[in-house]
Chains A and B, each alone.
Chain A
Amino acid sequence: MRTIAVLAKQVPDTANVTGKAMKEDGTVNRAALPAIFNPEDLNALEMALQIKDKLGYPVYVVSMGPPKAVDILKHSLYMGADEVYLVSDRKFAGSDTLATSYILARSLKHLGNFDLVLAGRQAIDGDTAQVGPQVAEKLDLNMISYVNRLIDVDDGSITVERDGEVQLEQIKASFPLLLTITQAANSPRYPNALNMLTYFKAKAANDIEGDPETPVIPVISSRNLDIDLSLCGLGGSPTKVHKIKSITLAGGNLQLFESSAGGVMGLVKEIIKDYVEVKE
């Protein structure tokens, strides 16, 4: 029986910056943003579940993050994932994409040899789209990125549509491989009520108070892994943040025209001035 792994990340909701998440100086208050399941990772999970629906392959969801990332693992269980794992350790904090990919690759290897690894194309906080490919390289897997659509799958191969930017590519490949999935690929299913009842009390392994009824979400830390700590965390990250500048959403030299016929005429006159310049 083939197995599927899905890489998922909990991210701050950077796409919905409203007034509440803004500071006095017009910059974003990152800590105030709600934490969500990275959208394209949801699409990856949905694709995994569709394959499970068709062929019965078990779906494992792995997330690297701080303890509260357990929330997206619970959501994965609600959607129908078979097993979920939290990869968490203070020694992993500060990892750039390379260190993160190394840790995730070691974690997947620790869990077994997956035939198919699915990851969202990119996370909405880092926006790099690097972790998927780098994990593929570290696991020596064939990789297809920008997967737009699952066309077909059977025990021998998988056929997908890739967004090649200027062309659409229909690609058939054998297992094992890693795919990065875009938001166009599917509409993630809603949580299943029965799964919610079963798992809503689930807690991370190190958070249990001894209640045998509580479903446990296993936590993988550096102690569980065959891993070189010098390749993890800040020390294992070739890229370093030199400085950060917050972008202000307000401020500028604006010439406002009156909301009247005269105002619009004035605006049009300005445009024509540019239009004439442009025509040259």
Chain B
Amino acid sequence: MKTVVFIEKNPVTDKLRDVSVELSARAHSLMSPFKGEVVGAFVGDELPSDSQLLFQYGLDRLIYNCRPQYKNLHSIAYKNVIEAMIKKENPDFVLFGATHTGRDVAPLVSSSLVTGLTADCTQLYIDEYKDRGNILYQVRPAFGGNILATIITPEHRPAMATVREGVMRLPEKRTGNPVKTEIFAMDTREQWLKNQFLQVVPKHRKVNLGSSNIIVAGGAGVGSKENFKLLYDLADALGGEVGASRAAVDYGFADKARQIGQTGAVVRPKLYIAIGISGSIQHRAGMAESNKIIAINSDPEAPIFGIAHLGIVEDFKMVIPMMLKYLKEEG
């Protein structure tokens, strides 16, 4: 059995995207019981500077095709290289991170290979299916997150899936596989490189929600950008970071970089304090696995109370100042 994992790097830092490591690890745990192989596939200008990390998390082999023209995403070129790599490796499954690049290249490849692709999977497992032997079961939210669907690709090969960053947890133990990289030789063609990159500007990444242990997040209920200051005060007092629901971002109360949810960041902090957040499915998709969830909302019917562990039904403008006072007292 074999799984190919599309390996991606952050073009600004030149390091591996987290999701590439997460998927290598997940592929390893999927393949282990079958003594299967996990092969990474990379296309770009140069291998990520920390590629060896992939092998510590279960990758067996990394094949790559690099040339300077591939520094930026030329969708057609990437598609052709990855497709050729897949045809040569002939895997059962192919996993892509559901990054902007992944969601660009994966469907181009799946269409060309005439196979099934399932987007934004939250769970993957292998199990028997009728007379088809072992296939990949792909679980994903759909319908705006209101349902959870289990998708299968029983009759086409390879089964392809994309997974969002932060969804598959990295295992504690490292496999310590030996580093094994192989050049995949393939020419390029002018007609694949039709994009002219006039300018590439890194986005100013002010926040790293994924690595925060405490997040104080605000929703539409916070009411204004000015009111958000209370959340910043609370986050400072707790040593945490400030997040926001999509509604709060859309209303301009907070920066898009702080957005948590289905179209924002997926976080799993030890403590998540939801302030004025109603708790829509789309938001919960980004924080439901937080270790402890505290909800402060003046609406007792808010769905957030359905997943919160602790809560207060009260106006946050009254609660937060009180909390700050007690936090100061308790040291």
Taking beta carbons and an 8 Å cutoff, which residues of A are in contact with B? 12, 14-15, 17, 27-28, 30, 96-98, 101, 124-134, 136-138, 142-146, 159, 163-174, 177, 237-259, 261, 263-265, 267-272, 274-275, 277-279
Contact = CB atoms under 8 A, between A and B. Distances in A.
B319 A171 contact: no
B309 interface: yes
Contacts of A174: 194
A168 B201 contact: yes
B153 A238 contact: yes
Contact of B151 (A130, A239, A267, A277): A239
B144 interface: yes
Interface string B113-150: 01111111000000000000000010001111111111
Contacts, number: 257
Given A166-B11, A274-B270, A247 B108 contact: no
**Looking at A12, A240, A277, which has the most chain B CB atoms within 10 Å of its CB?**
A240
27 contacts: A15-B282, A97-B117, A98-B110, A98-B111, A98-B116, A98-B117, A126-B142, A129-B103, A130-B117, A133-B75, A146-B100, A166-B203, A166-B205, A167-B11, A169-B197, A170-B197, A240-B154, A245-B150, A247-B281, A248-B306, A252-B306, A254-B310, A263-B312, A264-B312, A268-B326, A269-B330, A278-B214
Interface of B: 10-12, 72-73, 75-76, 79, 99-101, 103-104, 106-108, 110-112, 114-120, 137, 141-156, 194-203, 205, 213-214, 238-239, 262, 270-271, 273, 279-282, 291-292, 294, 303, 305-314, 319, 322-323, 326-327, 330
B319 to A, nearest CB: 6
Pairs A-B, 5 closest by C-beta atoms: A14-B144, A238-B116, A239-B116, A133-B107, A238-B156
A130 B294 contact: no
A171 B111 contact: no
B312 A159 contact: no
B151 A241 contact: yes
Nearest to B120: A127
Contacts of A265: 322, 326
Contacts of A28: 143, 146-147
B119 A247 contact: no
Contacts of B12: 166-167
Contact of A268 (B153, B202, B330): B330
B100 A145 contact: yes
Given A167-B11, A256-B313, A278-B214, A239 B144 contact: no
A237 to B, nearest CB: 8
A166 B10 contact: yes
B108 A134 contact: yes
Given A129-B119, A171-B195, A254-B305, A247 B145 contact: yes
A158 B142 CA distance: 34
Given A125-B143, A275-B214, A242 B151 contact: yes
Given A166-B11, A247-B281, A278-B271, A240 B326 contact: no
Contacts of A271: 238, 271, 273, 294, 323, 327
B200 A278 contact: no
B306 A272 contact: no
A255 B306 contact: no
Contacts of A164: 11, 72-73, 100-101, 200
**Looking at A134, A159, A167, A173, which has the most chain B CB atoms within 10 Å of its CB?**
A167
A39 to B, nearest CB: 11
Contact of B292 (A136, A177, A238, A274): A274
A169 B200 contact: yes
Contacts of B156: 238
